[in-house]
Amino acid sequence: MKVLDGAGRYSHSLSPVLQIINTFLSRNLNVDFTLISVIFAIFKFAPAAIAAASKLGCRAYGWIQRFFMVSVTVPAHDELYGQVLDWLSAYILKWRASRSLTARTRFLRGADVGLEEYATLRGRTKVDTQYLPSLESVWFFYERRPFAIKLLSDTLIAYERRKGLPKAMEGRNNKITLTITSLGRSSEPIKGFLDMCRSSSMKQQETTVTIRAIKCIRYYSWGWDIKAQKTARHMDSIHLDDAVKANLITDIEHYLDPKTRHYYNSRHIPYRRGFLLHGPPGTGKTSLSLALAGEFGLDLYILDLSAVPSDDILDSLFSDLPSPCLLLIEDIDVIGLKSRAETEENAIKKEKYTPLKCTLSGLLNVLDGVASGEGRILIVTSNMPDKLDEALLRPGRIDRKIYLGYISQYVVERMFLRMFEGEYTQQNAVEGDRAKKRRGHGDMAAMALKFSKEIPEETFTPAQIQEYLLQYQESPVEAVDQIAGWVAKEVRKMEKKVSVLGY
């Protein structure tokens, strides 16, 4: 009765309209209007209460983060950025149910497709799914310690895998970062985690060569960008005179020996090494550079001098080179480097603004100037070394000149064996008698010798012979049978070219 009296007193305190609503609800729907009013009051004050609690929670988290947590930030343009995301994708996100992920396919690193597996795939690309965090913190345990990784960006984050490599695509303001956080007051656990990510990535790349080239990072700021990762070429795949090849490998091996560096430093000799690879096009100058990088586990830096805007940027690019590394400047004879005076004079004659580009003097300064770096191996390639400035070729800049000429019959024989002998047994085992009939039963060494005798000495480049053999990769017998006609045809082409050009 008291409760009814209380409700009645409450209803009399309401406005006439609310009294009518209260009477309707209580009589027809058996709903207590007092309860509805309380619920509305709660919803009215709930946002303010939640905001206050959230603000208090943020302050508490900030206090904990300041005194009980440590963090390390990695910029997107750094190689470590991709290495951390690779590890996170492979070992954490792939096996976890998360509500906010970015999924994409990628080529498997170092995954060779066998012959039996190829028969099933029939040429379809073998890919795996990669998962990446999508603008949220990802918590996990590493060595019994909690870690969090968060992507921070003011622009859309894209993570591109191009030619098997991770690459963060930055937006207009280039503010993409990755932050690793852990409980504690020491940064050593995070450093250990980053070292592990880097070691894991390096282990995957043991059979590959990282190729870097220059890139404009932002206005008038240039750096080295990863362009590709290629399978390291074995030195046996380079068709060069064995003595020249062995001597070159020994030279670089001696140069990279720590004792050699100590010898140079103790006698105040600049610790640098330069090689000029010269010869006709198609003789393997670039391939040799790639093989040397793989042989000694070095990154290959390819410098396109025609794309460098100025000597200052050229100097900055050389300063960013690690030690040791292999720096390749291709076809330097066709770049047409001029002296600084010639470049400025041409700009004045045109009577308009002309970018000065890099100059010959700028290149010479970064190669062996007072402030030039040490520990790198420089390889310069040229088809016509006679056109090069003598100042560029002097000892200290170019220490050795190696001629890569036309192929000899001995090297042709070795190339034939490499192209067919290695896969002969495996292919026959998988494909059976049909493969044997197609490829032939002849002795491989005898076929290689017969093939080489059909090739005139010092007439063709290794690239020409390899291109021919690739047409018959399933049938060495047919390659031997058809070589005489191919040689006659190619010789006629060359004779015609000589008669037309006059040389």
CATH number at residue 367: 3.40.50.300
Cα–Cα dist 22/30, whole Å? 10
Tell whether 349 and 422 lie within a shared domain.
no
Same domain as 233, residue 305:
yes
| Residue 330 lies in domain | 228-403
- The pair of three-digit structure tokens given for residue 318, joined into one six-digit string: 């050389």
**Domain check: are 32 and 10 in the same one?**
yes
Does residue 256 form part of some domain?
Answer: yes
Kindly state whether residue 468 falls inside one of the protein's structural domains.
yes
Q: Are residues 380 and 424 in the same domain?
A: no
Q: Could you tell me if 250 and 129 lie in one domain? A: no
Residue that is written with structure tokens 């402030």 in the block: 371
Please tell me whether residues 415 and 384 are part of one structural domain: no
445's CB contacts (< 8 A; 6+ apart) are 417
Do 174 and 274 fall into the same domain?
no
Among 344, 378, 403, which residue terminates a domain? 403
Say which amino acid occupies 151: L
What's residue 120's pLDDT?
A: 45
Domain identity same for 174 and 137: yes
Going from the C-alpha of 49 to that of each of 55, 58, 86, the distances in angstroms are 10, 14, 42
Judge contact between 479 and 299, C-beta under 8 A: no
> How many residues can be counted in the chain?
503
Residue type, 107: F
Tell me the CA distances in angstroms from 21 to 12, 15, 27, 288, one per residue in order.
12, 10, 10, 92
Q: How many domains does the chain have?
A: 4
Q: What is the pLDDT of residue 204?
A: 73
- For residue 212, being part of any structural domain is answered with no
Q: Does residue 396 form part of some domain?
A: yes
Of the residues 388, 403, 418, the one at which a domain ends = 403
Q: Would you say residue 51 lies in a domain?
A: yes
Nearest Cα neighbor of 308 from 398, 213, 386, 239 is 213
Answer yes or no: do 392 and 442 share one domain: no
Residue 396 · residue 378 · CB < 8 Å: no
Based on the domain organization, do 24 and 166 belong to the same domain?
no
Predicted pLDDT of residue 17: 60
DSSP 289: H
List the one residue out of 223, 225, 199 whose CA is nearest residue 212.
Answer: 225
Q: Check whether residue 125 and residue 59 sit in a common domain.
A: no
Q: Which whole-number Å values give the CA distances from 309 to 187, 219, 345, in the listed order?
A: 40, 12, 17
Distance (Å, whole) CA 101 – CA 447: 57
Q: Does 341 reside within a domain?
A: yes
Handedness of CA 99, 105, 111, 115 (dihedral sign): positive
Six-digit token pair at 424? 């002969």
Q: Are residues 370 and 397 in the same domain?
A: yes
The answer as to whether 214 is a domain residue is: no
Give one DSSP letter per residue of 351-366, joined into a string. Answer: TS----B--HHHHHHH
Within a 13 Å sphere around the CA of 346, how many CA atoms are in the beta-carbon half? 11
- Provide the token pair at 501: 């050009």
d(CA 223, CA 418): 39
pLDDT in tens, the chain (503 residues): 444 444 444 445 555 666 666 666 666 666 666 666 667 667 767 777 777 777 777 777 676 666 678 888 888 777 788 888 888 877 877 666 555 556 655 543 334 444 444 444 444 445 556 556 555 678 888 888 889 888 765 433 434 433 333 344 444 345 567 888 888 878 899 999 999 999 888 777 777 888 999 888 766 678 888 888 888 888 888 888 888 899 999 999 999 999 999 999 999 998 999 999 999 998 889 999 999 999 998 899 999 988 888 888 898 898 888 888 999 999 888 776 665 455 445 545 544 444 557 888 888 988 887 767 788 999 999 998 888 888 888 888 899 999 998 999 999 999 999 888 765 444 444 444 444 444 554 588 999 999 999 999 989 999 999 999 999 988 899 999 999 999 999 999 888 876 665 55
Domain contains 359? yes
pLDDT at 441: 47
* Domain's final residue, options 14, 48, 64: 64
Pairing relationship of beta strands 300-302 and 325-329 according to DSSP bridges: parallel
What is the chain's Cα-based Rg?
Answer: 35
Contacts with 282 (C-beta within 8 Å, 6 or more apart), sequence order: 461, 462, 463, 464
**How far is the CA of 175 from the CAs of 137, 165, 169, 180, 237, in angstroms?**
17, 21, 11, 16, 44
Q: Residue 178 in contact with residue 76, Cβ under 8 Å?
A: yes
* CA pair distance 487, 452, nearest whole angstrom: 11
Q: What is the pLDDT of residue 110?
A: 37
